[in-house]
Structure 1
Amino acid sequence: MAVKSSRLQRSRLSAALIAALVIPVSTGVMAQDTDTSTEAEDSTSQTAESRATNLDRVLVTGSLIPQTEIETFSPVMTITAEDIRSRGFTSVAEVLQENAVSTGGTQGAQSSASFTQGAETIGMFGLDPGYTKYLIDGRPMANFPALYNGSDTFNNISNIPIDLVETIEILPGGQSSLYGSDAIAGVINIKLKKRTDGTSIGVRGGWYSDGGGSSFRASIADGFSAIGGRLNGLMGVQFEQRDPIWAYQRDLTRQFNTNGASPPIASRDFLVYGYKGISQFRFGNFGYVDLPPEAAECSNVDHFFGGTEGPQVRPGSGEYCGSFFTPGYRTILNEKEAAQFVGHVTWDFNDNAQLYADLLYSTEEVGYHIGSNYTWWGTGVKWGYYYDPDVDGLINLQRAFAPEDMGPEGFRNSMSFDQSDAYQTALGVNGYFGDSDWSYDFGGTYTRYELEEKGFVRWADAINDYFQDRVLGPQQGWDPYFGAYPVFTPDYGAFYQPISAEDFASFTGYATSRSKTTDAMVRAQVTNSSLFSLPGGDAGVAIALESGRQTWNYDPDPRYLDGSIWGTTAVAGGGERDRYAATAELRMPIVDMLTVTGSGRYDSFSPDGGSTLSKSTYSLGVEFRPLESLMLRGKYGTAFRAPTLSDQFQGRSGFYTFVTDYYLCSEAGYDPADPAQIDACPSQFSSRQVFGTQAGNVDLEPINADVWNAGVVWAPTNRLSFTADYYSWEIDNEVTQQSTDALMMQDYRCRAGIDDINSPTCVQTLSQVTRQDSNNYVVEIFTPKINVSKREMQAATAAFNYVMPTDGAGTFSFDGNYTRILKHDRIVYEGDPVLDYLDDPYYSGDPADRATLSASWNRDKWSTTLYANWIGETPNYRALVSTSGYDAEGAAKLDSTTTFNASVSYRPLDTLELSFLVNNLTDEMPPYDATFPGTSGAPYNSGNYSVYGRSMYVEARYNFGK
């Protein structure tokens, strides 16, 4: 199907960009330029004229109207399949996480015990992951069923087949007037391959120089054409397998921090603690109960954790059995086995109508272990304390489980697994209305994401009965002082004993939670690229209508909710809603130098059991070309994020967590601003397990944003181009849910008089923290969702592309991208002071600057690329945890870091390419931070840095069609 157009000339801006894409690698660019999110082209029967006109008019992400200019008022960063291969990226997640706009730290495989351990995402410009709109071939991705941080909907980008990606386009800034909800930070459009020249096979194997993480990936794709070129399509499959990386395989994470701000303190693997001599001292003498003689040397368990278990002393508390190496027993990179299928088929009814069908299917299983810190048992969960008459005290027991408890495979026997299946399908017809300039696209899409989480658990009754039978003995009534605590006379010698793998298996197992999201949508769009003539060219218009239904359900194993599982609960919820949208875009080349584009969109959401909410957004974009080589551009508009289904329908669900009660630590004489003192704070204050609750709110309103950007594109030659853009966001009505640690720190600041106890923040905080009347202990926290917060952000990006062909020495190409966050202010509650997320490290540890630089060389059969990823300065741990920020003693910024990827490829045959790639060439580790305490098992910011180290890959690609 030819795209109708009479304009075949290109400006120098377009020529420079095309040169940057075409000259380094000649394959794949036509597929990129002619692909659209709604149109599939007949690749075999096009005439020379139609191919020329297809190149002339392209559909650029950021517009619904095909046009002649690639650079428009909306900046677009394009990453091609060749960029992905030559720079060594192993996944779409890695491509985006190492992009310059990814300045926000996010949870991932390195984050122990997160709610979405098996998923990956990014924080574009440091905004929340849910503020970025993800598209696959222009269609919205399915939402991940589990919730980020247990509360927020987001997209998982770990399951997209990287070998079958044609391009990734990043559209920064607010884009809701075209793409609807979520497009506040920007839009990421992942375009999959639509055709290939013959059968293409790729095989890659990789390993890490420090161990773990070995991987294998294979893919095959084949295109076809039949029935005189009327039936065309592509089928592709990718399979990948990866081993985990355990923390003990990296020096920085294998043990407690040995060079920190405080001495390393071993884990409390066997511990008896509480209040002794209550009749005489009441509650003033908390500490560890002395080890019985038979346990004094921990000899019965000294083979635990690889023989590192032994007697330890915690200053000011007492003796226990522990190890300095327990942090190493967790995964920091998930094991993974996954497969994906891509199918694209078109059928030409005639010259004006084409049927298209698309399918993307992914199945993925990831395995992970959250660590020994979360694999334990203690009396406190069921009994709080028990009374031991032999010591006249209220006592608790605490015992960690070691790999030696679990059988020959150790901690592999207690890993958790996430199994997911995701579908995205599309079916429709597009073409032209007769001989007119009006084109149409009528179709439907359906996405479905199913997740099954097999969580390793401890059965509450079984584990409590096991230790009561073997250690505590029968209950002997209630304590004589309060009548509230059971009386036991334990056999402490029996407590300090190993258990058999059979016994461990008797009180552990797996609980399966299932969740699902779906989104069904029908969409009709009409477009006219030549609506009417203006002095600068043809005006274009696009109008689209959408109707759909979205669902979300999270059904945890019911045993999480009824108390059958020890120490763990779950998030539950589910809901459905209808949605409708209307979009219009008008592009007007007023004169040769000036083009104005306006767009508007209306979205409406009708949740079952809730009130209908609607939102209108608009944008106005300007392109001014005073010279053939120069364009000034700008856009002003609005953006929004609708309340997600989880925001609205998440049930009143709970979770157990450990909190630091900074207020009671301060009352006991330990300064919350000093990490070393907090480390020494008694565990009933510094590591208190509490019950938390959270819930959705069907009355939430949309998050609103006013957005604008302005920039310049300059192409002094056809092979060189520069861009620079400025972005601004004013966001209000944000949905807020505080972290537990931030809540407890704010609770301390309010109670200690640092902040006004009558301020809105303090009134709200004190209502969310429930304390016992008798001893002021925290027993419950509540983190509700409400529309309340405001945010202002400013950022700048810059980029360049340069291609330098030579006579005899090959072709050199360079490109770079830079992002700088200029402002990030937030007001959590109305009336509160402005929080500086850019310069106050207490609120954010993200870098303000990030940049990438790529240099490639191609000559004959050889090509090579060096890719640099630079992260600017970030605050050290002391600055992050101190309420005084950089004014605190020892607070500072960590040096910037740079990692390098390198690749070399050789084509012994036209059909065969062999590559060797090295990622993190210099084996760079996170910047050294001596202010982390000795109690840390991961003394670095895992949201910003990785400890994976150097990885190497060998790859072969064969194309039967060349």
Structure 2
Amino acid sequence: MLKSKLAAAVVAALAFGCANAYAGNTSPSDPANAPQDAQSNSQSAPSTTADDASKKAKKLQEVIVTGSLIPQVDVETSKPLITITAQQLKDRGFTSVADALQAGTFATGSVQGSNNSAGFTQSAKTLSFFGLDPSYTKYLIDGLPMGDFPALYNGSEAFNNLASIPIEMIDHIDILPGGQSSIYGSDAIAGVINIVLKKTLDAPVVDARFGWHTGGGGADRRVYAADGFTWGNLNFVGGIQVESIEPIWGFDRSLTRQYFTQGTTPATASRDYLVLSETQLVNAYYSPNQLNPGIGCSAVTGQFGGTEQLQNRANHGQYCGSQDSAGYVTETNKQNTVNLYTHATYDLNSNVQLYQTLLYTYDQQKFSAGSNFLFWQSPIYYDANLGDFVLAQHAFSPEEAGGYQNILDNNVENSVYLSLGAKGGFGQSNWDYDLTFNHSEDHLQERTFQRWTTAINNYFGNILGPNLGPDPLGFGYPTYTPNYQAFYTPVPNSAFRAFTGYSETYAKTWDNMLRGQVTNSSLFSLPGGDAGLATVIEGGNQGWNYSPDPRTLDGETYEFTDVSGAGHRSRYAGTVEFNAPLFKMLTVDMSGRYDDYNVAGGTVSHATYNLGVEFRPFGDLLLLRGTYGTAFKAPTLPDEFQGPSGYYSSVVDYYNCAKLGYTGGNVANCPGQLSGEQFFGQQSGNPKLQPIVAKTFNLGFVLSPFEGFSLKSDYYHYNIRNEVEVQSSDFLAQTESNCRLGIFDINSPTCQDALAKVIRSGTPLAPGLLPPITEILTPKVNVAREYLNAVITEANYSHVIGPYGSIDVKTSWSDIMTHRQQLLPGDPFINLLREPYYSTEFKSRVDGSVGWLSPTQTWGVTLYGIRDGASPNYLATLDNNYYSPGAGKLAPWIRYNLTASYSPIKNLALTLDIVNVLNKMPPLDRSYPGTESQPFNQLNYDVNGREFFVEATYKFGNAK
């Protein structure tokens, strides 16, 4: 009876997982070996002798520690491990897994997120270990690989999405910095993050939470329910979490409500109705009063909430615009998420346990990039009445669109993570086995609001009027006599709807892995204890498919193209780990792994190793530790199979601006047609890419002088080679300018590379200038090298203060000592800490918490603080130094969270969280120009501000 019910449960889990995976999303990851938590791995066997009893007692003390395959008694090993428990997540006021991990002192790098308007992955969140590439981190769920997100970070890289992991279903999170490929395989260069889900519940639980921001927007509602039961040999845990979050708009915050008023130039309203001369370098804007006599901008003053009016920009001229259009951008997304989780085990006998884990996620996110990405622009034409070559542009207002909230981009992700397995022991021996099948799948639907090229050009073509033939000067431009009165009139919503709509792109990733592990934690005796051995063999396949709407590839989506690509590959790997306590004071751990990928008729393979040493000269008082090893990252499927993908964007023509005298902070005043040249960018995958390889080591200590206190500090070194580089268009344009101006050696590899990738064509705007930039090429190649040295120091203290309860104090500090990168062979190394154009990472971060719990555990209060160190201001990133006029560093950013909990009755807990208690905004950066609508580094900061949460948790029955 029990067996039949178990079979039915397993079949139902498989059917549920596959059905939802087909309709939903999850993603693949590279092969990895995975520890399970102590509960799910502990085995027991009948004992008939004293030795058996001793072995059983030892086994009960052993736990699987992230970073090793062999169960161990000591949690502190040669590999420094950072653990965040579920209680710490709550006490520190973290509202999501992504928030908690991004606040870690190891996560000092700059990353894209939801406030990166018009970014490639605005619905996803990730992090950067010590400023290293986000894709260099291996993510695990219960020790097994987490799937990749279907869309590409920065348009080119596979990565993992942390945005929708259910925080209420977390038991703890392990963070392991340093290269870990000898255990976990590809991607584990910077470190490993293992998200361990709950395996048991002491009682059914219901939790409800509501949050709001004092600045407006961002209302958050979340409900969680979970239960579990034991039926004979069957143990089951299941839960569901549902959350809804409203967006924060730019107009909700004073810093982003209007164009920047405290910058290096006066606040400059958006150019919503503009006619621009292509022949005049100064005062090139034609006044609306000239083109629309007696009316000017008066017909459009109702736009953008009644803030549209005649504007004047120094040295440029007049136009119709709004200072408030800056605020119509979502700073955080609208999000609706549903998470479903189940975990079950069934003991067939004392040597066989079947287990199953299922995590399903539905995540919908909506966002807007604002009017800067919702416009029409004419081609250059000859205006017969003006006798000039001009172009016209119009940005659409919320009133024309029927409300921006009704045209939000809409991303829907469905993901499934499924693990099925059996584990146990071989008879009465010390050998254990674990056989696992792991499947992850991620489906993404991107509905992007578009302007249809043919329809929008037809609509404005009626305003331009009939083509009167080529221009009289023989340049081949069309001639028009536009109806400017119609141009300076709002577009009716019916017409707007006729030339706009949604494109639909579908993407998916999948990963299948069959993994077998055999472990013996008491292989033979050594003077320091029992030696341990673990071996793993695994194999599987993975795939990626990104299928854009065909209209994004044939030019029918206005000023918008998408990426395409698809591919799959098989892989296998073998791992061996040996742990030898040579003496009571000295333990050595050795591991090695071989990975092989079969792709496109070829093979990519790599072997890695790691040696760890633990030295305890004074027992538990002091641990000296260190590891040395290698790591790698195999080319991802997008690296190999991304098709030629194009995009339209604009870039500053730094060279032509410099020739006209506009450099440094003065670049913002460069004539409009040079400060935002439209170009077509193109990049593609490369199936001949080789693995990124690294050598890493760490040295550190753990000091525990008395009970309740520990101090640990670890130094990390990374030497990474063969990195894949995709340069930004802005970087290439600046480099090309510096090469042509003689700032860089024009014969250097970097200059020759930039000159080949920045393509100019057409007619120069003025004598002495080069033709405009029309195309920029950014292929992927194995060229870069990187060195990094960092240190993390942690202190923990807990103490019972008699009748006054207990206190718990934790603090952590990280510092990036050196970080250098060489982009191309033969180039000098870039100091990423001193050359801010290349990196805006934080050099240091400190966080800490002080918690108090009453003797009866009825009351609890925790104050958490985080300090992000200095980062470069805008001009420093532009000039690539800290000494140019106006360049410098921003003040540290310090925030505090306060959490208070109260249990009026045994089973009920009430919690108040205040996130960012002092409502700290990003450090004010006065070096931004007045043309900026988001005057802060969106890779480092946010404008979320103070947020309150009230939460109630009720446990039924006799909960602990």
Q: Which interval holds the TM-score relative to the shorter structure?
A: over 0.9
State yes or no: 1:169 paired with 2:208: no
Q: Are the counterparts in 2 of residues 874 and 893 from structure 1 also a CA contact under 8 Å?
A: yes
Name 1:304's counterpart in structure 2: 303
Aligned partners of 2:518 and 2:255: how far apart in 1?
57
Q: Please state if 1:240 is matched with 2:243.
A: yes
Q: Does 1:810 align with 2:801?
A: no
SS class of match (2:750) = helix
Q: For the structure 1 residues 40 and 512, does the alpha-carbon distance in structure 2 shift closer, same or farther, using more than 3 Å as the test?
A: farther
Query: What is residue 721 of structure 1 aligned with on the other side?
Result: 710
Partner secondary structure for residue 158 of structure 1: coil
Question: What letter corresponds to residue 124 of structure 2 in structure 1?
Answer: A
Correspondence list, 1:755-794, <5 A = 755-772=744-761, 774-775=763-764, 776-794=771-789
- Matching residue's letter, 1:446: H
List aligned pairs for 1:679-690, cutoff 5 A.
679-690=668-679
* Matched residue, 1:287: 284
Partner of 2:455 in structure 1? 462
Distance 2:58 2:687 in 1: 50
Pairing 1:706–2:695 present: yes
Aligned runs of 1:419-430 on 2, under 5 Å?
A: 419-430=412-423
Query: In the TM superposition, what are the counterparts of 1:727-876 in structure 2 within 5 Å?
Result: 727-772=716-761, 774-775=763-764, 776-859=771-854, 860=856, 861-876=858-873
Displacement of 1:297: 4.0
What is the alpha-carbon distance in structure 2 between the residues aligned to residue 372 and residue 604 of structure 1?
48
Instruction: State the one-letter code of the partner of 2:872.
Output: P
Q: 1:488 pairs with 472, 480, 490, which one?
A: 480
Q: Give 1:141 shift.
A: 0.7
Structure 2 CA distance, aligned partners of 1:293 and 1:714?
A: 78
In structure 2, the partner of 1:29 is none
1:904 aligns with one of 900, 904, 923: 900
2:238 and 2:343 in contact (8 A); partners too = yes
Provide the residue aligned with 1:878 in structure 2. 875
Residue of structure 2 in register with 1:26 after alignment:
none
1:336-355 to 2 correspondences below 5 Å: 336-355=335-354
- The correspondence of residues 164-243 of structure 1 with structure 2, limited to 5 A, is 164-227=169-232, 230-243=233-246
Of stretches 926-935 and 420-429 in structure 1, the one that deviates more from structure 2 is: 926-935
Identify the match of residue 102 of structure 2 among 72, 97, 103. Answer: 97
Task: Report the AA paired with residue 430 of structure 1.
Answer: K
**Residue 695 of structure 2 aligns to which amino acid in structure 1?**
D
Aligned partners of 2:925 and 2:382: how far apart in 1?
43
Report how far residue 362 of structure 1 moved.
0.3
1:26-41 to 2 correspondences below 5 Å = 35-36=37-38, 39=41
Residue 907 (structure 1) shift:
0.9
Look up the equivalent residue of 1:158 and give its one-letter code.
Answer: A
Change (3 A) 1:302 1:41: farther
Q: State the number of aligned residues.
A: 907
Aligned to 1:263: 266
CA–CA distance in 2 between the matches of 1:48 and 1:295?
99
Please give the per-residue CA displacement for 1:731-774, whole angstroms capped at 9, x wherever unaligned.
01000001111111111101111101110000011111110153
Aligned to 2:410: 417
Q: Which moves more between the two structures, 633-642 or 292-301?
A: 292-301
Q: 1:392 corresponds to which residue?
A: 387
Residues of 1 paired with 2:184 and 2:333: CA distance? 33
Q: Name the CA shift for 1:937/1:397 in 2 (closer, same or farther; >3 Å).
A: same
Shift of 1:876: 1.4
Is residue 2:901 matched to residue 1:918? no
* TM superposition score normalised by structure 1: 0.93
**How high is the TM-score relative to the length of structure 2?**
0.93
Q: Does the Cα contact within 8 Å between 1:854 and 1:867 map onto a contact in 2? A: yes
SS at match of 1:626: coil
Instruction: Please point out which of 610, 613, 616 is paired with 1:619.
Output: 610
Greater Cα shift, 837-846 or 47-56 = 47-56
- Assess, with a 3 A threshold, how the Cα gap between structure 1 residues 51 and 418 changes in structure 2: closer, same or farther: farther
Q: Deviations over 1:283-321 (max 9, x none)?
A: 777812232244764110111111111111122221110
| Residues 282, 671 of structure 2: 8 Å contact kept | no
Output the amino acid matched with 1:879.
A
Asked if structure 1 preserves the Cα contact closer than 8 Å seen for 2:435 and 2:516, the reply is yes
CA distance in 2, matches of 1:926, 1:305: 26
SS of 2:646's partner is strand
The CA distance in 2 between the partners of 1:686 and 1:841, in whole Å, is 21
Specify which of 467, 472, 476 is matched with residue 475 of structure 1.
467
Match of 1:84 in 2: 89
Query: Hey, what does 2:13 align to over in structure 1?
Result: none
Q: CA deviation at 1:596?
A: 0.2
CA positional deviation for 1:895: 1.4
Paired residue secondary structure (1:899): strand
Letter matched to residue 351 of structure 2: N
Match of 2:337, as an amino acid?
Answer: A
Deviation at 1:705, TM superposition (A): 0.4
Cα distance, 1:416 vs. partner? 0.3
2:436 and 2:518 map into 1 onto residues whose CA distance is 12
CA spacing shift, 1:50–1:34, aligned 2, 3 Å: farther
The answer to whether residue 428 in structure 2 is matched with residue 435 in structure 1 is yes
1-structure distance, mates of 2:460, 2:216: 38
Structure 1 unmatched ranges of 5 or more: 1-32, 277-282
Q: Structure 2 matches for 1:323-342, cutoff 5 A?
A: 323-342=322-341
d(CA) in 1 for partners of 2:39 and 2:149? 22
What do the CA deviations read for 1:151-189 (whole angstroms, capped 9, x no partner)? 011100011110010001100111111011111110000
Q: Does 1:944 align with 2:940?
A: yes
Take 1:791 and 1:90, find their aligned partners in 2: how far apart are those partners? Answer: 34
Q: Is the 8 A contact 1:661 1:778 kept in 2?
A: yes
**Does 585-594 or 486-495 show the bigger shift?**
486-495
Contact 1:459 1:566 in 2 (8 A): yes
What's the Cα RMSD here?
Answer: 1.7
SS in 2 for 1:523: strand
- Cα pair 1:37 1:139 within 8 Å, conserved: no
**8 Å CA contact 1:297, 1:310 repeated in 2:** no
Classify 1:302/1:348 alpha carbon distance in 2 versus 1 (closer, same or farther; 3 Å): same
Mark the CA change 1:406 to 1:41 in structure 2 (over 3 Å): closer, same or farther.
farther
Q: Counterpart of 2:757 in structure 1: which amino acid? A: Q
Residue equivalent to 2:634: 642
- With 873-882 and 560-569 compared, the bigger mean Cα shift is at 873-882
In the aligned structure 2, how far is the partner of 1:163 from the partner of 1:504?
Answer: 43
Does the CA-based 8 Å contact 1:356-1:429 persist in structure 2?
Answer: yes
Secondary structure of the corresponding residue to residue 838 of structure 1: coil
Matching residue of 1:957? 953
* 3-state SS in 1 of match to 2:815: strand
1:504 aligns with 2:496: yes
| Counterpart contact for 2:844–2:868, Cα < 8 Å | yes
What residue number does 2:440 align with? 447
1:4-153 equivalences under 5 Å are 35-36=37-38, 39=41, 53=58, 55-153=60-158
User: Per-residue deviation at 1:875?
Assistant: 1.3
> Judging changes above 3 Å, is the alpha-carbon distance between structure 1 residues 35 and 284 closer, same or farther for their aligned structure 2 residues?
closer
Distance, in Å, in 1 between the alignment partners of 2:844 and 2:39 is: 32
Deviations 1:321-360 (A, max 9, x none): 0111111001000000010011111111100001111101
Is 1:370–2:363 an aligned residue pair?
no
- Report percent identity of matched pairs: 46
Give CA-to-partner distance per residue, 1:835-873, whole Å, 9 cap, x none.
Answer: 000122222111100011011100121011000011111
Q: How far 1:484 sits from its partner (Å)?
A: 2.2
Instruction: For structure 2, list consecutive stretches of 5 or more residues without a partner in the other structure.
Output: 1-34, 46-51, 765-770
Deviation at 1:40, TM superposition (A): 7.2
| CA-CA distance at 1:35 after TM superposition | 2.3
Task: Give 1:37 shift.
Answer: 9.4
Deviation of the 1:894 alpha carbon? 1.3
